[in-house]
Every structure is written in C-alpha cells, then in structure tokens.
Structure 1
C-alpha cells in the first residue's frame, strides 16, 4: 500500500496538503511561487521511493505542508480516502461489468428477487463503504509504517521459490479464517445484528457482493490483513491480491454457474449459501465446509440453462428458502417484487 500511497501523494496528495495545511506562515503566497526551491519551507522530510522499479519524483509541493508524507495523521487520512474511494470504484466498475456481460438477467424474475433490489444493494454498499474503510485504515497504516512482513523485491523475501508459493499459502490461510469468521457470523447471537443485511439478498446480483454491514465486511476481510503480520508477502502481490479478492467476491455473486467443481467455491455454491443460509461458508474452496460438515453440493440442474430458471427449480428453492428464513430469522421482513409484474429480460 505504500507504493499506492506514494503515487497518490505525488499526483494529488502533495497539492492538497500543501494548500490545506501549509508549512509556510503565508498560507497562499507559495501558490504563486514559481521557484522549485524548498529552502523557504521547514520540512525535514527527505524523499525515498517505496517503489524499487520506478520512481515518481515529487514536486516542490511535497515539501510545502506542515504534515510531510511521513506524518501519521496525514497517512491515516490519505489511506482512509484511498480505501474508500478506490474500493468503491473497484466494486462499481467490476460489478457493473459483471452485471452487463455475465449476470443472468432472468434472475430478476425469481420469486425471491426483491423489489428495487439492485438499487438497495448499491445503497447498502454506499452506506457501508465509509465504515469498512475506517476499520481497514489501521491495517493499511501498519503496513505503510513497517509493522508487517511485506517486502519489495524477491531479493528481500525468502527466495525466488516463495514468489510463487506465497499465492497458494495466502489462499489456504485466508480461506480457513474466512470460513471460521463467516460461520461465526451465522451464530444466532451475532447474525441478526451484523450478517443479516447481507442475507437480505436471497437471489443476489453482482452489486450485492459488498452490500454488508460495515463490521461484517471488515470482519471477513480481516484474514487478508492478518496474513502479512505472520507471513512474508511481496508488496506488489499484496496489491494484486487486494484487487483479486474484491473481484472474486463479485464473481461468486454473479449468478452464472460455471464452476461445477467439488473443490472450487464458485457462484453456484455461494448461491446455495444465500438460499439456504447454513451451508457453504467458504470463500475460495469447499474444503473447510466439507471438514465442518457444512458443504451443500449445488443441484446439477443449476448448470443447465433451461433447468436453472425453470418454474420447478424455483418452486423447490422457494419452499426450502422459506423454511430456512423462518428457522434463522423468524419473520421475513423482505419486500419482494410481485412475480407477475416482473418483466422478462
């Protein structure tokens, strides 16, 4: 995250902080100063790139704020805004692409599809993103300030062999912790307060992928931040994995059942979780669900286009879903879109 912060500081942050909290007593005089000299400013900060592959040379404005780039308050504010804004853009762009090119629009005809569901999913995400970003900021701040085992180049890590091995280790570790956390969120004493907002979407669209209660969303992301505290991780791999995790979260909510696999926890497996609640808690694989006796194999018909959206399949899903809603939530307070008024897509 320090590389991302450096780029954002160079092109945006330095200018904003130089204007908002200037080092020179004459707050606006420096804006008309055409000199590249930094002698008028008291900053003791010295530029040292966080990126070993290419530098983004800072402008004079990097030295013109009372809060230099190493200031913990500035870093915290910047990381919060990056996490919030970049996270939302990542979500909205990928979810929209998934909705346009992947999502089966016939899902909107399902009896358990909610009235104005997509709007509500996006609204829930918008409400939760600031809170999730706030909770995530200390984790990224710890990374930037050197409290993790992130490293810059293969030469700084355990060895070239680890550059490949870190990815499966990350997947196995986070998959195990997410399973435990996700299953814990279904405990009756926790579910109705934290996890219920995400289970509002019985037949989710890609926009439901980040529509969580903010504490729920952060709790399920926590394993990603614990990993570099315990294990070495290339900082560029860390950024890639952050994007991948968000992309995967969208894919398992896209309603396109491709991965008919006993190993991969794909969209079909995760749809079983949204329909029937107490199954398929895993993120990437079915291993922990099998071990924890919570795996439910998706119906074979879900992988047949005609059968997937058949009235018989939907009737079966509705009957069992209503039993599970009554068992888990008691009263169903959702507002469904009347089936007869839905338009065929």
Structure 2
C-alpha cells in the first residue's frame, strides 16, 4: 500500500482472502494473479452476489411455492415461472453494475479514505455496538429518503424506478424481484452504505456482511408474506408499497415511515377490508 499505516495492510489482506476463497473455489485451475486487485474484487463481488441471489431466491421460492404450497401464499397468488424468469434476467443484466459500488467501497477503505477499522478490538465491543446502531440508523434514514425521492421526482421514477414497479400486484412479486432494478436505481438505493463509511466509524467486515445481506433482505420483502414482526418492514408492508406506491418506503424498519407520515399497516387494510 505504498508505506501507508500498518492497519491498511489488514484491509488488503482481508479482501485478498475473500478473493482467494470465492474465486479460487469457482475457478480452481485459473490463475488470477495477473489481474489487478480491484478487478479481482469486482469479479468476486459479482460471483458472490449471484450466488447469494440465486441460492436465497430458489431456496425461498421452493419453500413457499412448492414445499409449503397454499400455506403461506394461496395457489392463485403464486407468480408465474415466466414472471420470475423476467425478474432474473433483469437482475443478471444489472448485477455487474451493482457490484461497482461494493468494489469502490473496498477500494476507498484500502486507501484510508474512510473511518473503517479492521478489528473490533481496535475500539472495543461497546463502541462497536454504538457504531453499528449509528450505521444502521443512518442507512435507514438515507434509504428512506432516497427511495421516496425516486418516487417523488418524476424523471427519476419514469426513467429509473418504474422498471421495478412493473411488479405492482401480489401475483407478480417474488423473491427474485428483489434486485430487479434499473442498475442506477439499485446503486442509488445502496449508496448510503458507501456514504456511511466516510462519516461513521465502521468495522470493515461488518460493513461487507451488511451490504451482502441486502441481497437476502430484498428477496425476503418481495415474497408477499406478512410476518407481523413489529417493527420490521417486512413483505406485508412492502407489498403495500408496490400496490399503492405512496406508502412504506422504509428499508429494515417502519420507523422512518412512521416519523414522516407514510406508514400504512397491512393490519389496517385487512380491518377495513380494502
């Protein structure tokens, strides 16, 4: 790293380890050494993103649409294979561009442009817990307003976010719809994870885990099942967002929608029968 602080070497060692684990497993007989570190990182993020997307999507679809058929989702509400295939194709096209963001995030961390630290013991567990709470609160606030802006600013909705909102009925929503965005839309909604690194001390490995957890989380909130786990912004709330557009912009929780007057509870709709 050109004689930088010693802890920067820990970041590079960690990202190099991830590259070897993922790419070495997928391409065991292919040498990646001639390729720049940043290119290896981008490729690893693409491979990892696809693996998580397909594993979580197929596993969850198999569980709710076949194994537990008619238990969680009525037979007449199961999306068609054609709909899910179209969602997969949109995601496949967008994933390489999505992965530019986590790759750049790792680059700026490795070059000491952020407030990241490599080990929890560098700050202690109480500080680590405080940082994570602050990080998640920041993410929740920023994604809420980014998502709401993608609806309220008409050109952004028309040219970016509308591509995701073609899935506007329960029967068109599936776990595979979670990443079926225009690439720039997906990047804009994930970019608070990058901004947080410049403002909030963040454990590097935790940041990576949370960023890739987004893939699992978006699959979960598009499955149409209302889990009733208050105050989690589950699929029941997010389905309302897809069918009514102007409610439930939140990410992990309902708090931002509650604070800014855009919360619509699925139980209220059931009680009114509408």
> What is the TM-score normalised by the length of structure 1?
0.65
User: Deviation per CA, 1:279-301, whole angstroms, max 9, x where unpaired?
Assistant: 10000111211222211111357
User: Deviation per CA, 1:92-132, whole angstroms, max 9, x where unpaired?
Assistant: 11122221224666466249x57821111111111111121
**Counterparts of residues 127-142 of structure 1 (less than 5 Å):** 127-142=93-108
User: Deviation per CA, 1:167-193, whole angstroms, max 9, x where unpaired?
Assistant: 322221100000010001112121010
User: Deviation per CA, 1:290-316, whole angstroms, max 9, x where unpaired?
Assistant: 22221111135769xxxxxxxx97xx5
- How far 1:250 moved relative to its partner? 1.6
Which residue of 257, 260, 271 corresponds with 1:289?
257
Counterpart position of 1:209: 178
- Over the aligned positions, Cα root-mean-square deviation in angstroms equals 2.8
Which residue of 202, 213, 219 corresponds with 1:250?
219
Counterpart position of 2:4: none
Give the distance between the partners of 1:169 and 1:206, measured in 2 at CA: 29
Counterpart position of 2:137: 172
Give the distance between the partners of 1:182 and 1:219, measured in 2 at CA: 9
Kept in 2, the 8 Å contact 1:94–1:247? The answer is yes
- How far 1:78 moved relative to its partner? 1.2
C-alpha spacing 1:244/1:166, structure 2 compared with 1 (3 Å):
farther
Kept in 2, the 8 Å contact 1:131–1:214? The answer is yes
Counterpart position of 1:327: none
Give the distance between the partners of 1:131 and 1:240, measured in 2 at CA: 19
Structure 2 residue runs without a partner (length 5+): 1-10
C-alpha spacing 1:248/1:17, structure 2 compared with 1 (3 Å):
closer
C-alpha spacing 1:230/1:278, structure 2 compared with 1 (3 Å):
same
Give the distance between the partners of 2:16 and 2:229, measured in 1 at CA: 40
Counterpart position of 2:127: 162
Give the distance between the partners of 1:184 and 1:291, measured in 2 at CA: 16
Counterpart position of 2:52: 90
Structure 1 residue runs without a partner (length 5+): 22-66, 68-73, 304-311, 317-345
Kept in 2, the 8 Å contact 1:75–1:141? The answer is no
Q: Which structure shows the higher helix fraction?
A: 2
Give the distance between the partners of 1:107 and 1:201, measured in 2 at CA: 18
Q: Pick which of 138-147 and 8-17 moved more.
A: 8-17
Counterpart position of 2:17: 6
**Counterparts of residues 1-345 of structure 1 (less than 5 Å):** 2=12, 3-9=14-20, 12=24, 16-18=31-33, 21=34, 74-102=36-64, 106=73, 109-110=76-77, 116-157=82-123, 159-186=124-151, 187-202=153-168, 203=170, 204-259=173-228, 261=230, 263-299=231-267, 316=274
C-alpha spacing 1:125/1:119, structure 2 compared with 1 (3 Å):
same
- How far 1:77 moved relative to its partner? 0.9
Counterpart position of 1:71: none
Give the distance between the partners of 2:89 and 2:17, measured in 1 at CA: 31
Kept in 1, the 8 Å contact 2:61–2:175? The answer is yes
User: Deviation per CA, 1:235-261, whole angstroms, max 9, x where unpaired?
Assistant: 222232223332222211122211253
Counterpart position of 1:44: none
Counterpart position of 2:5: none
Structure 1 residue matching 2:55: 3-state secondary structure: helix
Give the distance between the partners of 1:102 and 1:145, measured in 2 at CA: 44
C-alpha spacing 1:287/1:98, structure 2 compared with 1 (3 Å):
same
C-alpha spacing 1:108/1:143, structure 2 compared with 1 (3 Å):
farther
> What is the TM-score normalised by the length of structure 2?
0.81
